[in-house]
């Protein structure tokens, strides 16, 4: 589906549709981002995970953090996302006591917890952040996270972020009827078919395109090639459907 974040996938379908009329739960962030500035992109996303069972606000402090958040929300194996979780205490190279707040703490379907720091690769290199993160990792209690990772723009495809953002938009307007019709059409697919062709068969126009998009991320369909999911994209029935 064009996802390039290295997270484990679970078996089974997972489809989250976000009703637009439900007021989101507040963020659980232990610190909130500073006000917007010309130099960065800050804001929040109302998204739902399986653990939430409801829309919840989650903060981001940069466009890159936003890209990662969209992909985490789209990932089938992510059960929970905690933005700006409680800080971890560690000591720097001079032995001084410091704190580090991860951008996201996620819980996977198997219960594994991953603490995620998001930074541009050039900034991480310039600041020596990888070395700092090693110290943070050594000081991170297992009860907090099983793994500590750094995600830069080198860890995911730009198209994966764009696809995840589209999915988020398409989930905000649920269409069970279109989802059902597309799922029924999928069972008759025996060879790769373009999204445009399946849309035409459905007779639903744009509603079908959005439903197909959701079906890809729900594990009902899969794309033949990576990249942006477009009307020309070839799709197949996912194995096991």
Domain boundaries, the chain: 43-151, 173-237
Nearest residue to 64 via CA among 168, 154, 148: 154
Pairwise CA distance, residues 143 & 163, whole Å: 33
CATH 3.40.1350.10 at 43-151, yes or no: yes
Three-state secondary-structure class, residue 153: helix
Per-residue pLDDT of the chain (241 residues), as tens digits, is 444 565 543 334 455 555 555 688 999 999 877 666 555 678 899 999 988 888 999 999 999 999 999 999 999 899 999 999 999 999 999 999 999 999 999 999 999 999 999 999 999 999 999 999 999 999 999 999 999 999 999 999 999 999 999 999 999 889 999 999 999 999 888 899 999 999 999 999 999 999 999 999 999 999 998 899 999 999 999 876 5
Residue pair 105/115 in contact (Cβ under 8 Å)? The answer is yes
pTM of the model: 0.87
195 sits in which H/E element: helix 195-202
Three-state secondary-structure class, residue 57: strand
CA angle centred on 26, ends 22 and 31, rounded to 5°: 155
Return the half-sphere exposure (C-beta side, CA atoms, 13 A cut-off) of residue 81. Answer: 31
7 sits in which H/E element: none
The CATH code of domain 173-237 reads 1.10.10.10
**Residue 235: exposure state from Cβ atoms within 10 A (0-12, 13-18, ≥19):** buried
């Amino acid at each position: 589906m064009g996802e390039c974040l290295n997270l484990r996938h679970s078996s089974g379908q997972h489809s989250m549709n976000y009703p637009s009329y439900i007021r989101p739960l507040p963020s659980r962030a232990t610190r909130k981002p500073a006000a917007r500035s010309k130099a960065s992109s800050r804001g929040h996303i109302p998204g739902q995970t399986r653990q939430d069972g409801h829309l919840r606000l989650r903060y981001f402090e940069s466009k890159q953090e936003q890209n990662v958040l969209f992909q985490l929300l789209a990932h089938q194996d992510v059960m929970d996302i905690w933005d700006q979780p409680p800080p971890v205490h560690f000591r720097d190279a001079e032995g001084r006591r410091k704190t580090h707040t991860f951008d996201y703490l996620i819980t996977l379907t198997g219960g594994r917890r991953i603490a995620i720091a998001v930074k541009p690769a050039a900034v991480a290199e310039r600041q020596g952040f990888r070395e700092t993160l090693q110290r943070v990792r050594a000081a991170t209690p297992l009860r907090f996270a099983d793994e500590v990772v750094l995600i830069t723009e080198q860890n995911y495809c730009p198209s994966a972020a764009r696809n995840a953002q589209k999915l988020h938009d398409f989930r905000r307007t649920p269409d069970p009827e279109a989802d059902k019709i597309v799922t029924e059409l999928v069972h008759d697919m025996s060879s790769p078919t373009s999204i445009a062709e399946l849309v035409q068969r459905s007779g639903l126009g744009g509603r079908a395109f959005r439903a197909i998009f959701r079906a890809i991320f729900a594990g009902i369909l899969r794309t033949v090639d990576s990249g942006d999911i477009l009307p020309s994209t070839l799709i197949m029935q996912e194995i096991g459907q």
